Structure 1
Amino acid sequence: MKLLVTSSPHIHSGSRTSRLMGAVLIALIPALVAGVWFFGIRALVLTAVTVLACLLSEWLYRMVTRQSNTLPDLSAAVTGVLLAMTLPASAPYWLAAVGGVFAIVVVKGLIGGLGQNIFNPALAARAFLVLFWPSWMVRYAAPGTSLDPLSVSVDIVSSATPLHHMQMPALPTESLLDVFLGNMGGCIGEVSALALLLGGGYLLLRKVISWRIPVTYLGSVALLTLIFSKGQDPILWMLYSLMGGGVLLGAFFMATDYATSPVTPMGQLIYGVGCGVLTVCFRYYGLFPEGVTYAILLMNACVWSLDRLTPSKRFGTVKGGGVQ
């Protein structure tokens, strides 16, 4: 019998990048619908602008660098939608376009392309926009505000989010039901906890993502905010901490990015806990009320070390590297 020696992987799952990215896009539909429901058609147009900027940047970059066309894998489209979910509906269209170009060209393309990027492109682009245009990134429209979709930028009276009240510290003025449904100020894709749970549940059922990162992320946030509650009711403080801001969006859609999260089971557990601990620390002691973006980006930088420190058990070998 002849043995054919080849490099791994030896067993293929049959899944393709386009299929996985397509599942993520489907999972984001509830959050996008909720954003359009509460902030109007401008939220949809802003998302379209961001996606278009990402697709054009991907195509132009690959053409200039004489590489194959990767638009069919849908990764650029996913980056565009995720970036739009982290923007307020009142953000100017040029801001969304600049973020899309930065995410694709700088964070993804210059580092090597899909699978080579160290940081989550959408979150890195959001951090870039907050650094240079912070005032635009915190102009949250109140639900039901009429935002002109034909205007390049919109002037509004900023609405306080639940996290702004919690930074005082005080419990939010919105009811827990309003926060759960999304009837509050915030970014397009983070306001509705219900929509994000539906999308996250879909990804888990389709086995697109593992339970380890979202469960440990949300669990560590829940435990820390319950123990170190700043409100009169620790349970309410914990629930508002979980549903207010971008924790659910980060736990299900950002922290689970294949290229920027650990591949080992133990590494994923540590990674999720690290994201949760850093999120709470940034929220409690940081300048801004939200900390999800920087928590995940910092843990992205630790992924290589986590994979090295938590290797999976290798079968068929003995000590010294020999084959059994």
Structure 2
Amino acid sequence: MTGLNLTSPHVTGRTSVSWVMGWVLLALVPGWVVLIVSFSVGYAINMVLALLTALIAEALLLAWRGRPVMFFLKDLSALVTAALLALALPPLAPWWLTVLGTMIAIVFAKQLFGGLGNNPFNPAMVAYALLLVSLPLYMTTRWASPDFSLPIADTLDIIFAGQTPVDGATGATPLDVYKLDISRLTSAEVLQSPIFGSWVAEGWDIANLAFLAGGALLLWKRIITWHIPVSLLAGLGIMALLFSGDADVRTPIDLHLFAGATMLGAFFIATDPVSAATSNRGKLVYGAGIGVLIYLIRTWGNYPDAVAFAVLLMNFAAPLIDHYTRPRVYGHDKSVKGFKND
């Protein structure tokens, strides 16, 4: 028997990486459409730029590494990374910002680590965080106002020709407005701003509901499990209930849930199977940690949304979480705890 490579038989499932990624892209469509309708066609331009850049960058890196280009391009993982980044970026950001961010995500955060399955951090969030830290002016002043209808021609001029947006076309996000204004106004006065609309936040609330619906689709297709999104929303919600009970002091829970990128983060970003925790118990800890960090950074940090930074910080912790939440191995009475080897 020496020299024989004996392996166990395997059953191949009906799912594949391209099947999973295809459904993720499909589930993103409702939220993407709402963002385009509510804010700007810039979200459509961002998406096209990001998808094209991702395909080109991935193809060049795969060829440079001597890997089969079409085989890996067809898994659609590069397109998912690009789509998530395009949805996270301001819709009136200059074209080169979207291209630069996508190249960072694909080249530095994915391919240089070895490609899909080897990246320790969420590539889209790595790119977003680096852009936000390095180019804060473009990342914070190019959010389209929901109550200002910007012509497509003007949108193209802003994105491709470097034209400065006219007054009223851009503005701060609802989370940023509330956090800054609540220090000098009451909650009732702050919420009179048109940016908060008739429910939670003009445009943002419907987009979050759309991403929630997309997340429900992924749960129904069993592409993700409930552990990370539910624990993330629970962690964020509990923190808001504990520390934001007085809306005249801090941002209330409804804004935390529906006025930022919470649902996109909970169902599409935090659930990245490569950089997240893997065991079910680990996913609960991982998701709750992201939710708590989102609240802490939003409330006492300098960044009003904080999803990217919270996810990246918990990406750091994911291997340790997995180590301490390993499930019971078949044939053993109990699971291994900590660094024991038995």
| TM-score after normalising by structure 2 | 0.84
1:150 aligns with 156
Q: Which stretch of structure 1 is more off in the superposition, 216-225 or 152-161?
A: 152-161
Distance in 2 (alpha carbons) for counterparts of 1:36 and 1:315: 49
Tell me if 1:250 matches 2:265. yes
2:340 aligns with none
- Retained in 1: the 8 A contact 2:49–2:98? yes
Distance in 2 (alpha carbons) for counterparts of 1:263 and 1:80: 23
1:74 aligns with 76
Tell me if 1:177 matches 2:177. no
- Retained in 1: the 8 A contact 2:85–2:125? yes
Tell me if 1:94 matches 2:96. yes
Instruction: Tell me the CA shift for residue 301 of structure 1.
Output: 1.0
Distance in 2 (alpha carbons) for counterparts of 1:43 and 1:250: 17
Partner of 1:301, secondary structure, is: helix
1:111-150 pair list within 5 angstroms? 111-139=113-141, 140-143=143-146, 144-146=148-150, 148-150=154-156
1:268-307 pair list within 5 angstroms? 268-307=283-322
Tell me if 1:19 matches 2:19. yes
1:187 aligns with none
Distance in 1 (alpha carbons) for counterparts of 2:124 and 2:106: 9
Match of 1:207 among 222, 235, 250: 222
Instruction: Tell me the CA shift for residue 19 of structure 1.
Output: 0.2
Cα gap change, 1:191 to 1:94, in 2 (>3 Å):
farther
- Retained in 2: the 8 A contact 1:191–1:244? no
Residue identity in the other structure for 1:120: N
Distance in 1 (alpha carbons) for counterparts of 2:230 and 2:41: 33
- Retained in 2: the 8 A contact 1:261–1:303? yes
2:7 aligns with 6
Percent identity between the aligned chains? 35
- Retained in 2: the 8 A contact 1:226–1:234? no
2:63 aligns with 63
- Retained in 2: the 8 A contact 1:90–1:155? no
Partner of 1:260, secondary structure, is: coil
Partner of 2:38, secondary structure, is: helix
- Retained in 1: the 8 A contact 2:200–2:254? no
Match of 2:274 among 259, 270, 273: 259
Instruction: Tell me the CA shift for residue 20 of structure 1.
Output: 0.2
Cα gap change, 1:149 to 1:166, in 2 (>3 Å):
closer
- Retained in 1: the 8 A contact 2:46–2:91? yes
| TM-score after normalising by structure 1 | 0.89
- Retained in 1: the 8 A contact 2:178–2:251? no
Distance in 1 (alpha carbons) for counterparts of 2:302 and 2:278: 32
1:220-231 pair list within 5 angstroms? 220-229=235-244, 231=246
Deviations 1:261-305 (A, max 9, x none): 111011000001100111111011101212111000000111111
Partner of 1:263, secondary structure, is: coil
Cα gap change, 1:234 to 1:198, in 2 (>3 Å):
farther
Distance in 2 (alpha carbons) for counterparts of 1:318 and 1:263: 21
- Retained in 2: the 8 A contact 1:209–1:256? yes
- Retained in 1: the 8 A contact 2:233–2:266? yes
Instruction: Tell me the CA shift for residue 167 of structure 1.
Output: 1.4
Instruction: Tell me the CA shift for residue 13 of structure 1.
Output: 2.9
Cα gap change, 1:235 to 1:208, in 2 (>3 Å):
farther
Count the aligned residue pairs.
309
Q: Which stretch of structure 1 is more off in the superposition, 169-178 or 141-150?
A: 169-178
Residue identity in the other structure for 1:74: L
Residue identity in the other structure for 2:107: V
- Retained in 2: the 8 A contact 1:227–1:234? no
Q: Which stretch of structure 1 is more off in the superposition, 36-45 or 143-152?
A: 143-152
- Retained in 2: the 8 A contact 1:45–1:149? no
Instruction: Tell me the CA shift for residue 233 of structure 1.
Output: 7.7
Instruction: Tell me the CA shift for residue 32 of structure 1.
Output: 1.1
Tell me if 1:42 matches 2:25. no
Partner of 2:199, secondary structure, is: helix
C-alpha root-mean-square deviation of aligned residues, in Å? 2.4
Partner of 1:259, secondary structure, is: coil
Partner of 2:110, secondary structure, is: helix
Residue identity in the other structure for 2:126: A
Partner of 1:288, secondary structure, is: coil
Q: Which runs of 5+ in 2 are unaligned?
A: 337-342
Residue identity in the other structure for 1:107: A
- Retained in 2: the 8 A contact 1:216–1:272? yes
